[in-house]
Structure 1
Amino acid sequence: MIPFNKPYLTGKETQYIEEAVATGKISGNGIFTQKCQKFFEDNYGFKKALLTTSCTDALEMCAILANINEGDEVIVPSYTFVSSALPFVRQNATIVFADSYEDNPNIDADKIESLITPKTKAIVIVHYAGIACEMERILEIAAQHNLIVIEDAAQAVDSYYTFKDGTKKALGSIGHLGAFSFHETKNIISGEGGMLTINDDKYIHRAEIIWEKGTNRSQFFRGEINKYGWVDTGSSFLPSEIISAFLWAQLENLENIQQKRLEIWNKYYEGLKDNPNFSLPIIPNYATNNAHMFYLVFKNIDDRTTIIKKLKENGILAVFHYLSLHKSDFYNEKHDGRILPNSDHFEDCLLRLPLFYELTADEQFEIIDKISLTINE
């Protein structure tokens, strides 16, 4: 069986976990947490990076920092994971779902402005498959309407956006706030885990408090205050040192991991391009490719179902992805009734292929071959 995903271990994960245990501090915000956070700040230009127990938790922090309350509206793409919307629902906001582009799953920047009302507080964008949304246009819209931009960069580690003036910025460093995932299905992993990135100075101080259960304990540990107490809302968002130690072993090998994933991605592209029965991922000229995912978009759900079944019969696990959130059991009755045809198209027609570090050339050739043969039957 060729699985859809297989977590890659660099070989030093358990060594660093043992080192973390030996320090006597494994509850969080220790040596490995600080090393990981500094790595991201130094290499990607985030003003502040805070590790969290998940990307969902990082987005929970975004919702609190953005001061989202009942009556506020938050624009969110429909074609995404529930965590992109859930933190704002928990703050009692109204979710206004946006459609994707016709030719790629990212939020259609040209359709955002029509969704803005006096109640709109924030725009959540999702860099699907690690490919940048059209950030320059989104930032212009947000500035015109005084909105907060939150980047759901769960899939977008080590990926970039290039502005028209040639400036290149890492995804997650462009909006006011960003959130990353280190779930076992991502490029860089810690099993479960995430990170909040803060790119506006005004959020940094409060973020540390929210991160530490609503206390100013981080200031206390730095010697800035004599005692700490409960000063704000918050939760237990920071991960243990065990998670951070695992993540550090991955970060040390980030360049190698990314190079291998790109090789696999490019082999898929070369092996499957020019086939009229499906379309391949589009990389806009303003975006880089971090090889998080390789997907095909079929013309209809029947074609996709046939391929999934055929691949499974041959021991290959390929899977579809998101169901449109605006049609979900939970939010359907709250949705404003707009039809989002592009999101629904990707729900029905997008298929993800196996992509993981240890996928061999022979396995990849087998996948490409089975797809091509099935299509031509």
Structure 2
Amino acid sequence: MKTPFNKPYLSGRETFYIEDAVKRGKISGNGVYTQKCQKFFEDKYGFSKCLLTTSCTAALEMAAILVEIEPGDEVIMPSYTFVSTANAFILRGAKIVFADSRSDHPNIDENSLESLITARTKAIVVVHYAGVACHMEPIMALAKQHDLFVIEDAAQAIDSYYTFADGTKKALGSIGHLAAFSFHETKNIISGEGGMLAVNDEQFAKRAEIIWEKGTNRSSFFRGEVDKYGWIDIGSSFLPSEIVAAFLWAQLENLEDIQRKRRAIWEAYHQQLASWALANGIKLPQIPNYATNNGHMFYLICKSLEQRTAVINHLKAHGILAVFHYLSLHKSLFYNERHDGRSLVNSDHFTDVLVRLPLYYELAVEEVIRVLREFKKP
């Protein structure tokens, strides 16, 4: 019996909606299913404006254009993240200033940010690792104090929330000026490839739609707001086809069920591995009191690289695929010589010791038990 790390889940109506999109005679972008998905996110999570994109990477690239990143601008972001987080801003000429993770969580250390701000800093990019919120209240206050934009890389953070000190609860992706989501096949809600830009600052709303449509006011034309459309700004073909949106719509119809199942698997891991982890000096993920758990990922924080390698190899030998995650970007072949030389101890620690366990909708109870059993063998 083999247990993969991930298995894409089809709710059952994906192909039905794809066929319906084809029969409607429009399978290019911004049709009925695109608009249904965008309205779903706006209504459910309070995003001011949503635009589906071909990927989270594309949404981040749109964000970089919208905040007008130029050569010489500095953008602060965690080193422990996927390369797309940085690439979107590198492409516009930015200098990336990498921040360390917290000691207790891979998320960006909010207390390290102020010392990284200079006269050239234009934006802070936060990454909600494993769908767990960064500490957004102090980050937003700091950004306001220094007149900076905040962009949420919410690739893993669908259906997760942050609670402010006054009790106000807001969906991740609705707090910063802009946010990017992923619907890659490894995420909770999928469309194969796919993403979304959430626009929460009104100043970006109109231009975002233009950039999304290759730098034209095509969307305004189809709404009857102008009598012709033309090239009025920079942009690219960021919007996905209706085929992608139709697939996504079937997933969104089953969001509650998907989330319930994923959280149940996460809780089973957390409860059943607690004693084993304590006995072996391994830490389990913790959810801060200001955050919620969307069941995106379950990981272990081992004591050492050697211990992590042993865990991965033991599980692999029994047909269970567990995997490590990011490599610190500040030490990457591409950016190592561009980095300012600061030591980012926590980012490097998570690079060496974090391992992710299988977690997907169709992971049966019997398979979860089998994974847990392997940890309890001597």
TM-score strictly above 0.5: yes
Correspondent of 1:324 among 325, 328, 333: 328
- 4+ residue segments displaced more than 6 Å: none
In structure 1, the partner of 2:123 is 122
Once residues 274 and 197 of structure 2 are traced to their aligned partners in structure 1, the CA distance between those partners, rounded to angstroms, is 36
Correspondent of 2:283 among 279, 282, 301: 279
Q: What's the secondary structure of 2:376's corresponding residue?
A: helix
Matches of residues 265-344 of structure 1 in structure 2 within 5 Å? 265-274=266-275, 275-276=277-278, 277=280, 278-344=282-348
Question: Is 1:369 matched with 2:373?
Answer: yes
Once residues 57 and 239 of structure 1 are traced to their aligned partners in structure 2, the CA distance between those partners, rounded to angstroms, is 10
Q: What's the secondary structure of 2:102's corresponding residue?
A: coil
In structure 1, the partner of 2:200 is 199
In structure 1, list runs of 5 or more residues that go unmatched.
none
Deviation, 1:310, is 0.7
Deviation, 1:369, is 1.6
In structure 1, the partner of 2:62 is 61
Deviation, 1:84, is 0.7
Q: What's the secondary structure of 1:85's corresponding residue?
A: helix
Number of residue equivalences: 374
The one-letter amino acid of 1:290's match is N
TM-score (norm 2): 0.98
In structure 1, the partner of 2:219 is 218
In structure 2, the partner of 1:250 is 251
TM-score (norm 1): 0.99
Question: Is 1:148 matched with 2:152?
Answer: no
Deviation, 1:372, is 2.6
The one-letter amino acid of 2:219's match is S
In structure 1, the partner of 2:114 is 113
Once residues 139 and 171 of structure 1 are traced to their aligned partners in structure 2, the CA distance between those partners, rounded to angstroms, is 13
Once residues 117 and 102 of structure 2 are traced to their aligned partners in structure 1, the CA distance between those partners, rounded to angstroms, is 18
Once residues 10 and 363 of structure 1 are traced to their aligned partners in structure 2, the CA distance between those partners, rounded to angstroms, is 20
Question: Is 1:355 matched with 2:359?
Answer: yes
Correspondent of 1:346 among 346, 350, 354: 350
Q: What's the secondary structure of 1:97's corresponding residue?
A: strand
Once residues 364 and 339 of structure 1 are traced to their aligned partners in structure 2, the CA distance between those partners, rounded to angstroms, is 38
Once residues 274 and 48 of structure 2 are traced to their aligned partners in structure 1, the CA distance between those partners, rounded to angstroms, is 40
Once residues 132 and 74 of structure 1 are traced to their aligned partners in structure 2, the CA distance between those partners, rounded to angstroms, is 20
Deviation, 1:314, is 0.2
Q: Deviations over 1:57-100 (max 9, x none)?
A: 00000000010000000001000000111010000100000000
In structure 2, the partner of 1:264 is 265
Once residues 372 and 226 of structure 1 are traced to their aligned partners in structure 2, the CA distance between those partners, rounded to angstroms, is 69
Deviation, 1:371, is 1.9
Q: Deviations over 1:236-295 (max 9, x none)?
A: 000000000000000000000000001100000011113222101110000000000000
Q: What's the secondary structure of 1:267's corresponding residue?
A: helix
Q: Deviations over 1:321-356 (max 9, x none)?
A: 000000000000000000100000000000000000
Once residues 97 and 365 of structure 1 are traced to their aligned partners in structure 2, the CA distance between those partners, rounded to angstroms, is 39
Q: What's the secondary structure of 1:178's corresponding residue?
A: strand
The one-letter amino acid of 1:223's match is G
In structure 1, the partner of 2:171 is 170
Once residues 361 and 216 of structure 1 are traced to their aligned partners in structure 2, the CA distance between those partners, rounded to angstroms, is 51
Once residues 36 and 219 of structure 2 are traced to their aligned partners in structure 1, the CA distance between those partners, rounded to angstroms, is 16
Deviation, 1:47, is 0.3
Root mean square deviation of aligned Cα: 0.5
Once residues 14 and 270 of structure 2 are traced to their aligned partners in structure 1, the CA distance between those partners, rounded to angstroms, is 32
Once residues 323 and 176 of structure 1 are traced to their aligned partners in structure 2, the CA distance between those partners, rounded to angstroms, is 27
In structure 2, list runs of 5 or more residues that go unmatched.
none
Once residues 272 and 370 of structure 2 are traced to their aligned partners in structure 1, the CA distance between those partners, rounded to angstroms, is 11
In structure 2, the partner of 1:157 is 158
Once residues 8 and 320 of structure 1 are traced to their aligned partners in structure 2, the CA distance between those partners, rounded to angstroms, is 22
Once residues 360 and 271 of structure 1 are traced to their aligned partners in structure 2, the CA distance between those partners, rounded to angstroms, is 16
Once residues 66 and 274 of structure 2 are traced to their aligned partners in structure 1, the CA distance between those partners, rounded to angstroms, is 44
In structure 2, the partner of 1:239 is 240
Q: Deviations over 1:145-179 (max 9, x none)?
A: 00000000000000000001111000000000000
Percent identical pairs in the alignment equals 69
Moved more, 151-160 or 269-278: 269-278
In structure 2, the partner of 1:27 is 28
The one-letter amino acid of 1:66's match is V
Question: Is 1:89 matched with 2:90?
Answer: yes
Once residues 341 and 372 of structure 2 are traced to their aligned partners in structure 1, the CA distance between those partners, rounded to angstroms, is 40
The one-letter amino acid of 2:51's match is L
